[in-house]
Structure 1
């Protein structure tokens, strides 16, 4: 009779790989649920069980298993990129699938590296702190290397989880730290039932009580606001008639009624500003001056001194009564969408739509000044689309700004990604930014989700997706700085590095 042992071994390996991929996919799906941040933690503990930390793997095997888990997570979480590559961009379906898979595999590497502490360190009662520290450092690097891509981390899911109130103190990375640590404690609960239950309850309770502390306060009277959602398909801006239709709509929508602040989304006017229809900007400025209205809208900027042959920028223009034009150029650009990494022009050439290689704006651009009759000005920090993924950069801008920051404004166009979970994912990121900074936020988007967020990140008002509409409301500005704005990621990164150093010393000693 043939020996069945090799077949059992192969079957066992296949079941581990499949289960890790499925667990990653399930974690990504859970992120979209109302209480996803709570549910993700016990599901993540199943990952530690499947990686079997009691019999540590060789580093190579551990890396590959962690990679499979990460690929399952990101393929589901980022599948909507296929829409921009294939449906909008016209890329070959196979090449588009490959693009999504390769990006997912790349960002999964950071998850995989974080799990390497399992075989590297001897496990003890405090091992969960080392795993959480490793995860924090991996996530920090994911948001930094090659300009960073920290989308779909555990931090934004924690906005709907137990550790969200920690964000104003130590930021999203601290939420990630506690989520990973808590999942390890749940995994260990079979060994230390009482101790783990008490410890988990205490940390969750302290985190929830931390939410009672506030660091910002209302300033001045509420401001009247109109947010415009045009709901134009992305393909329209590649046709002259579509461009003219969009320009006419946003001009008319901006000037149709009064408000102290009127905002249109990213590239509302999808054409270089110096080539826009005659008298368009003059008409908007006249409306601003005659109605005491502050206007903010997206255009394609034209650089007077091109950077490295990059002539255009993704720009927000602000018009305030009897004031010079405000200019904000997007600083953190999207790879392939807004700048082309060296050696990848062949990939971009596979699109059937024109893509730009934009110039970057500076990291220390001033806030937008919102003027009000008989009241002090309000100062708003502007971000364009993808930039609200980077919490530490926004905190740094607020911390170093010469003027106070009372409000966050994000201009976005997610029409590239169709009817997918991309808008809700970005909404959670914006909610986390408000929570970290203690400031309300206004989101003006083309297809959704256009919304007003409170200083605690909660949605106060929102428009339905894929509708052409206007959101009119009043918003209260806030003043002050949270500990996270003051300290940034330094505390949680320092704690994580010290814990890993302690773990290394302890490992060598014993």
Structure 2
């Protein structure tokens, strides 16, 4: 009796197939950074579906495993910069830091693998692409909500440089994801049914491009003067008292150098509890605001009292020339970075960074009122860093706001992630939010990318990364609501759920 070699030909082929999927997943993440990354994603996804068809046993288990591998390649490349915050800034052991990135990437990849199971589960037919797209949308939606959600590195933000971006004001980023998956599947079917698939591919892209001619928001009043200050302070200095004092002095000096109708500094630019800031600092800035008729938005560490003690908050503090003080406390916190999930205090103890457990702000906070020199006012919806990832939440806030929102402001500190692609990834997320809402946006960041975005998501002006500079410009406020702001994700989720229900009924019959 001949014994099988320890590593049979079949296992070797399977290992090679999985390696190929890992590489394709990494490539899919990598091309997103390219100027036309959203276009390039589509043929790469087609190649992934082709590879799955050739190398799997066409069972749900096989597709689940293969989907997990290509998702792992995708998220490890897309999220590797978390290592910088854990190891370089947080002081965590390198092995633990690598393990944390790997585990998070694996968890994210589970959503891809479950969505991929739609291919064998619903059995191949002319509607497989639609059912795969619907499954993908459902998983992406859940990825943004389960365990507080982490929808970073979705396919939608890649479409900022792709064919389907113009659909975002109508149906949101999830609709862009739906079409990306569906068209990538139809591209693969060109050899089997060339006329039908070619018509669907060309027709979908053409309709999406024509949708870009629709405008749902309009310019409001005259452009306002804006100054956005980028301090470029290393994250490691945030916990050094003398460095904190220098940072606070820098921003206070830069704010008072020149007036503007709106002056914005980044998230936690004053990295000290508000009550412990240098004596008279806020009053000094308020005096400048009153004298110059400027509105100033500060990134500070706020304090919220509860029944037991005082908790810190990640706060945007607004100063108005009419003397009123505004505050916005970050509502959607970063797991582990800003709040500690139950049972994970041991993990956070591996950091050497304080302030890891913030209090949440209310989900229905009012927008920031900006008093203008012509005696009129406009309103800005504030998001702090990570909150810019959640398009549905921002759309709901704008829809439910009593004063109409005219401008988006995102205050961010990405010094945690060093010289990586994290800033460009978040810039694309901000661009998608502007597209979805039809509103211009200001991005005030510590190390970059500080930018002004138009209501179409285009970057109008920006500062170079890792430089200390001020962006002085004018910004046009807008009024009106897009269909996405009015309806949110309801239309695309309804379409996806109906498709999946139909797929389940169809599967039982056949």
TM-score (norm 1): 0.98
Superposition deviation, residue 308 in structure 1: 6.9
Measured in 2, the distance between the counterparts of 1:423 and 1:373 equals: 34
The secondary structure found in structure 2 opposite 1:189 is helix
The secondary structure found in structure 2 opposite 1:471 is strand
Aligned residue in 1 for 2:291 = 290
Superposition deviation, residue 122 in structure 1: 1.9
Q: Which runs of 4+ in 1 moved over 6 A?
A: 1-6
Alignment of 1:380-419 (within 5 A): 380-419=380-419
Superposition deviation, residue 355 in structure 1: 3.4
Superposition deviation, residue 199 in structure 1: 1.4
Alignment of 1:1-16 (within 5 A): 7-16=8-17
TM-score (norm 2): 0.98
Check the 8 A contact 1:173/1:489 in 2, yes or no: yes
Measured in 1, the distance between the counterparts of 2:282 and 2:309 equals: 26
Measured in 1, the distance between the counterparts of 2:442 and 2:205 equals: 30
Measured in 1, the distance between the counterparts of 2:306 and 2:271 equals: 19
Aligned residue in 2 for 1:272 = 273
Aligned residue in 1 for 2:102 = 101
Superposition deviation, residue 55 in structure 1: 6.7
Superposition deviation, residue 322 in structure 1: 2.0
The secondary structure found in structure 2 opposite 1:369 is strand
Check the 8 A contact 2:286/2:323 in 1, yes or no: no
Superposition deviation, residue 16 in structure 1: 1.1
Aligned residue in 2 for 1:367 = 367
- Structure 1: runs of 5+ lacking an equivalent: none
Check the 8 A contact 2:216/2:480 in 1, yes or no: yes
Superposed CA deviations along residues 365-396 of structure 1, whole A, max 9, x for unmatched, are 00000001224201000000000000000000
Aligned residue in 2 for 1:133 = 134
Superposition deviation, residue 411 in structure 1: 0.3
Superposition deviation, residue 352 in structure 1: 1.7
Measured in 1, the distance between the counterparts of 2:488 and 2:87 equals: 38
Check the 8 A contact 1:56/1:118 in 2, yes or no: no
Once the two structures are overlaid, the 10-residue window that deviates more, 117-126 or 139-148, is 117-126
Give the aligned CA root-mean-square deviation in angstroms.
Answer: 1.4
Superposition deviation, residue 57 in structure 1: 2.7
Superposed CA deviations along residues 448-468 of structure 1, whole A, max 9, x for unmatched, are 000000000000000000000
Once the two structures are overlaid, the 10-residue window that deviates more, 118-127 or 248-257, is 118-127
Check the 8 A contact 2:321/2:371 in 1, yes or no: yes
Aligned residue in 2 for 1:260 = 261
Once the two structures are overlaid, the 10-residue window that deviates more, 32-41 or 2-11, is 2-11
Superposition deviation, residue 124 in structure 1: 1.1
Aligned residue in 2 for 1:475 = 475
Aligned residue in 2 for 1:145 = 146
Alignment of 1:196-211 (within 5 A): 196-211=197-212
Aligned residue in 1 for 2:251 = 250
Check the 8 A contact 2:56/2:66 in 1, yes or no: no
Measured in 1, the distance between the counterparts of 2:299 and 2:200 equals: 49
The answer to whether structure 1 residue 18 and structure 2 residue 19 are counterparts is yes
Alignment of 1:44-123 (within 5 A): 44-52=45-53, 57-123=58-124
Aligned residue in 1 for 2:507 = 507
Superposition deviation, residue 323 in structure 1: 2.9
Superposition deviation, residue 354 in structure 1: 1.6
Superposition deviation, residue 64 in structure 1: 1.3
Superposition deviation, residue 123 in structure 1: 1.5
The answer to whether structure 1 residue 358 and structure 2 residue 364 are counterparts is no
Aligned residue in 2 for 1:493 = 493
Aligned residue in 2 for 1:433 = 433
Measured in 2, the distance between the counterparts of 1:290 and 1:51 equals: 66
Check the 8 A contact 1:71/1:108 in 2, yes or no: yes
The answer to whether structure 1 residue 186 and structure 2 residue 158 are counterparts is no
The answer to whether structure 1 residue 345 and structure 2 residue 329 are counterparts is no
The answer to whether structure 1 residue 176 and structure 2 residue 154 are counterparts is no
Measured in 2, the distance between the counterparts of 1:190 and 1:383 equals: 46
Check the 8 A contact 2:312/2:355 in 1, yes or no: no
Seen in structure 2, the aligned counterparts of structure 1 residues 55 and 344 have a Cα distance that, compared at 3 Å, is: closer
Aligned residue in 2 for 1:458 = 458
Superposed CA deviations along residues 100-157 of structure 1, whole A, max 9, x for unmatched, are 0000001111001101111111221121000000000000000000000000000000
Measured in 2, the distance between the counterparts of 1:382 and 1:321 equals: 19
Superposed CA deviations along residues 20-70 of structure 1, whole A, max 9, x for unmatched, are 100000000001000000000000111111111797533222211111111
Q: How many residue pairs end up in the alignment? A: 509
Aligned residue in 1 for 2:311 = 311
Measured in 2, the distance between the counterparts of 1:308 and 1:135 equals: 43
The answer to whether structure 1 residue 331 and structure 2 residue 319 are counterparts is no
Superposed CA deviations along residues 488-507 of structure 1, whole A, max 9, x for unmatched, are 00000000000011111111
